[in-house]
A and B are shown apart, each in its own frame.
Chain A
Amino acid sequence: MKEPLDLTPLTQSIHDYLLSYLSPFWTTTVEWVIIGVLLIAFVALSVMGLVYIERKVAAFFQLRLGPNRVGKWGLLQTLADFLKLLMKEHITSKNADKFLFNLAPFIIVIASFLAIGAIPFALGLQAMDINIGLFYITAASSIGVLGILIGGWAGNNKYSLIGALRSGAQVVSYEISAVLSLLTIVVLSGSLQLSTIIESQSDGWWIFKGHLPVFIAFIMFLIAGTAETNRGPFDLAEAESELTAGFHTEYSGIKFAMFFLAEYVNLFIIAAVGATVFLGGWMPFHIGNWAAFNEVMNYIPPVIWFFFKVGFVIGLIMWFKWTFPRLRIDQLLVLEWKYLLPINLVNLIVVAFIAMMGWYF
């Protein structure tokens, strides 16, 4: 049987090559630089792609054509918008806390970059495969809310303050559900290390192997994840029909662009985590013992599998956003504390029981 394309030899050979010229310390440094540059390039490109896709998807939901003027099919639209934002004036409102005001966008962006480092893009293509990967990602990505709070506070605008406080309450509560739903898989696979979690799905993704409870956990994760990224129907922090632009009302130019960037990076992270944990990451789609079918599936490189699944999850989240009305802040909290949290807890117990009895495939 053909093995999925492994990229470990490639990275290993780069490592060996560098090692033959440099001392181990410099090798690591150079590797970090390479990874940093690659990640930044990847993030910039993928965010531009995501923004374009989001606008196109929204347009198709809304019976429109979407961007279609700049470049073929409007492909360069986001680049043009980015350039426009770059050239815009920085406006700092009167009586704003200048230091915090300038700091907030960086916190948000750094938080999302921290998290993206641990995401396994393909077999052997992962910046750092630490043994608490899942924990690390959730921890790192929740720093972002600090940026929102600081940004909302520092702008000296009441709208942004209301938005920031809403977002604080929201992210803190939904973090619990997101983590609890991820814990179901940790219980089943017995590891927090992302590569191990993926390895445990080589004979089938958890969403198929784990029966109904895992499916419920997946739905819960989608809901909580959407809420954590502050996307509609949970975009209360922004809520443009209530708070004009919520926490980033006062930001302009490139600082606004950073918030925008972080939003899409977070979307990508949530989708990537969901795809990795529930849908098998870069694992090809296999059905039981249909050897021929599985063989064909193995020919598709893991990277493509990964992005295909991420795309699927992102598509779902976008579909939510462009269909549903926004919740109100108290309903948002009711949803979390009265519905998601109890269901998640019960679900976790059920999954633990299943795992104990070995009732999964």
Chain B
Amino acid sequence: MNAITSYFKDIFHAIKTLLTGMRVTGYYFSHARKEIITQQYPENRDTLKMFDRFRGIVTLTHDENNEHACTGCSACEIACPNGTIEIISDREEDPETGKKKKIIDKFIYHYSMCTLCNLCIISCPTDAIKMDPSFEYATFDRKDLTMILNKPGSKIRKDVK
């Protein structure tokens, strides 16, 4: 007798648990409009806002006078674990003091090798570089991923030591 009751108990218990599961999925099915979590990416480009700390790409900030704050000290180059940054520096005579000063010739950035670890940013003594939250950088040619970050004709800001 016991075996028979437990047989039926098993069946009813099984049906109950199955129905509980179906209730959960059923709820989401019937409330699909409200609960859908996926986004339609290229369509929502206008409204899509990345968090401001999001690390998309390393940029060298230039102000409106086309001046940046990079002294060419190579701290970022040393901090980078992947050899992503290459600083090619030059020496230039300061017109005021007449002393030779180090300036950057090219700030080469190999995006294809960057792991976006942020170590370069925190190692920069003058906060010249920062992370930009843009992320659409897919290209058909790997060469396009090597960028020169200092804009042509840009100079170092006066106040930067």
B22: chain A residues within 8 A (beta carbon): 319-320, 323
Taking the complex as formed, is A60 at the interface, i.e. its CB lies under 8 A from any CB of chain B? yes
Residues in A312-361 with C-beta less than 8 Å from chain B: 319-320, 322-324, 339
Q: How far is the CA of A157 from the CA of B38 in the complex (A)?
A: 37
- Smallest Cβ distance from B26 to chain A, in angstroms? 7
Taking the complex as formed, is A61 at the interface, i.e. its CB lies under 8 A from any CB of chain B? yes
Q: A61 touching B40 by the CB < 8 A rule?
A: no
Chain B proximity mask over A49-65: 1 for CB below 8 Å, otherwise 0 = 00000000100111111
Q: A63 touching B28 by the CB < 8 A rule?
A: yes
Number of A-B residue pairs with CB-CB distance less than 8 Å in the complex they form: 36
Known contacts A65-B38, A68-B40; A60 and B18 CB within 8 A of each other? no
- The size of the chain B interface, using a CB distance under 8 A, is 15
Q: How far is the CA of A339 from the CA of B11 in the complex (A)?
A: 8
Q: B32 touching A60 by the CB < 8 A rule?
A: yes
Q: B29 touching A64 by the CB < 8 A rule?
A: no
B82: chain A residues within 8 A (beta carbon): none
Interface residues on A, range: 10 to 19
B24: chain A residues within 8 A (beta carbon): 323
Q: How far is the CA of A60 from the CA of B28 in the complex (A)?
A: 7
Q: B18 touching A319 by the CB < 8 A rule?
A: no
B32: chain A residues within 8 A (beta carbon): 60, 63
The answer, among B11, B18, B25, B37, for a CB contact under 8 Å with A322, is: B25
- Smallest Cβ distance from B31 to chain A, in angstroms? 9
Q: Which residue of A lies closest to B30 (CB)?
A: A60
The answer, among A61, A64, A65, for a CB contact under 8 Å with B25, is: A61
Q: Can you spell out 15 A-B residue pairs with CB atoms less than 8 angstroms apart?
A: A57-B29, A60-B28, A60-B29, A60-B32, A61-B29, A63-B35, A63-B37, A63-B38, A65-B38, A319-B26, A319-B29, A320-B22, A323-B18, A323-B21, A324-B21
